[in-house]
Amino acid sequence: MELQELIINMGPQHPSTHGVLYLQLKLNGEVVLDCQPHIGYLHRSIEKIAENRSLTQFIAFTDRLDYMASMNNNLGFCLAAEKLLGITAPPRAQYIRVIVAELNRIASHLLAISTFAQDLGAYATPLFYALRDREKILQIFDQLCGQRLTYNYLRVGGVSGDIPVGVDLLIKDFISYERRMLAEYQDLLTGNIIFCVRSKKIGILPKELAINYGVTGTSLRASGVKWDLRKDEPYLAYDKFDFNIPTGQNGDSFDRYYVRMVEMEESLKIIEQALGALPEGDPVAKVNKVFRPTGETYMRTENPRGELGFYIVGDGNPFPYRLKVRSPSFSNLSVISHLVKGLNISDLVCVLGSLDIVMGEIDR
């Protein structure tokens, strides 16, 4: 019997699409012949809203871009605004920013690897473990800024307040605790034969294709490209810390998972060093309440999903004349049609989960 091509819609509401993403699939039986992603279901005109908000007011909107890494979004925008205004945050604020950014990187990666494992049929154990560990980070952020998801802690010129008494001890306890737990994740997932069979040699992304599509972050490093803005274009105090940039060998779904695992270990090293060398002083900068930026600037930082960039144009008014966000998830998702051709539908779910996209920053 001759098989016929079938076009089906996967999403925009589907448990495997990681948000309101619509994938149009062309199938030959269970084999994917083509995959076209359709986006826009979360479009909120955030870049246009920026033209009617001051720089300080817009910080809260960056929380909603990548809601799994709000601290990192706050950081990227605040650094771009400071670069445009010629402001340098106090040394203590820079170290605190590094600490919260790396804590948020770990929280994001924990959710990424656990939902990825669940996509592959690993029941709920990895997800419950990850949510338990992530909860410890959320409790620290709650102490810092009173929020557990859309954090609003960073400010242009520094942070909203110093680290409360006792929070440094919570962070130290988390470092030792999470090192033990990462070893358990390695036993639970990395050495699991079913997990390896489902993810290895699936969705291989060659480094040339990754570079041509502007893929960044763990997806790029998993393809063997050792590129990380914390090392290659250091900002804050990252050039003062000793840490490694993990890379993969095959560029497959397993490598994208494993690079995140190792990155969490490196983030713990960064946090430990930053906390041990935390400078004295006031992390709250003395800056104007109203900024009138002139000129233009672009600043990029290493978000958990890749290169997050903010382009700001100022014309002397309190509101930016123009603001553009460079979304790492957008470029990372764009390459999916090349990765899934010839795979089964179940493998498509694996590839999509390994890319770890967030639709909030894609649609904006």
Residue with more model confidence, 343 or 124: 343
Per residue in 22-34, pLDDT (tens digit) is: 899 999 888 999 9
Q: Over range 56-82, report the average pLDDT.
A: 92
Q: Above 80 in pLDDT, residue 16? A: no
One-letter amino acid of 184: E
User: How far apart, in whole angstroms, are the C-alpha atoms of residue 120 and residue 196?
Assistant: 10
Mean pLDDT score of the chain: 91
Q: Above 90 in pLDDT, residue 5? A: no
Least-confidence region, from 117-121, 266-270, 306-310, 320-324: 117-121
pLDDT at 149: 85
List CB contacts of 73: < 8 A, sequence separation 6 or more.
62, 63, 65, 66, 303, 308, 361
pLDDT at 41: 87
- How is residue 53 annotated by DSSP? S
Across the strands, what pairs with 308? 301
User: How far apart, in whole angstroms, are the C-alpha atoms of residue 63 and residue 148?
Assistant: 11
pLDDT band at 3; cut points 50, 70, 90: low
Q: Which two tokens stand for residue 177?
A: 């605790």
Q: Are strands 294-303 and 5-10 parallel, antiparallel or unpaired?
A: unpaired
pLDDT band at 181; cut points 50, 70, 90: very high
CB 325 within 8 A of CB 361: yes
Q: Over range 193-199, report the average pLDDT.
A: 90
User: How far apart, in whole angstroms, are the C-alpha atoms of residue 309 and residue 238?
Assistant: 18
Burial of 247 (0-12, 13-18, 19+ CB in 10 A): buried
3-class SS of residue 214: coil
pLDDT at 192: 87
User: How far apart, in whole angstroms, are the C-alpha atoms of residue 332 and residue 324?
Assistant: 18
3-class SS of residue 323: strand
Per residue in 216-252, pLDDT (tens digit) is: 999 999 999 999 999 999 999 999 999 999 999 999 9
User: How far apart, in whole angstroms, are the C-alpha atoms of residue 130 and residue 114?
Assistant: 6
Q: Over range 102-119, report the average pLDDT.
A: 93
pLDDT at 288: 81
Least-confidence region, from 2-16, 36-50, 102-116, 295-309: 2-16
One-letter amino acid of 237: A
User: Which residue ranges form the domains of the chain, and what is each CATH number?
Assistant: 5-363 (1.10.645.10)
Q: Any alpha helices (H) in the chain, and if so which ranges?
A: 46-49, 55-62, 70-85, 91-119, 125-145, 167-185, 193-199, 207-212, 218-221, 229-232, 253-276, 328-334, 336-340, 345-355, 359-363
User: How far apart, in whole angstroms, are the C-alpha atoms of residue 53 and residue 249?
Assistant: 45
pLDDT band at 66; cut points 50, 70, 90: confident
What are the two backbone dihedrals, phi and then psi, of residue 126, each rounded to the nearest 5 degrees? Answer: -60, -35
pLDDT > 90: percent of the chain? 71
- How is residue 344 annotated by DSSP? B
List CB contacts of 3: < 8 A, sequence separation 6 or more.
28, 29
pLDDT band at 72; cut points 50, 70, 90: very high
Q: Above 70 in pLDDT, residue 2? A: no
User: How far apart, in whole angstroms, are the C-alpha atoms of residue 339 and residue 351?
Assistant: 7
pLDDT > 70: percent of the chain? 98
Q: Over range 202-228, report the average pLDDT.
A: 94
Q: How far apart are the first and last CA of the chain?
A: 46
Q: Over range 210-218, report the average pLDDT.
A: 94
Per residue in 128-165, pLDDT (tens digit) is: 999 999 999 999 999 998 888 888 899 998 998 899 99
User: How far apart, in whole angstroms, are the C-alpha atoms of residue 9 and residue 314?
Assistant: 42
User: How far apart, in whole angstroms, are the C-alpha atoms of residue 273 and residue 11?
Assistant: 44
Least-confidence region, from 72-86, 179-193, 319-333: 179-193
Q: Over range 181-187, report the average pLDDT.
A: 89
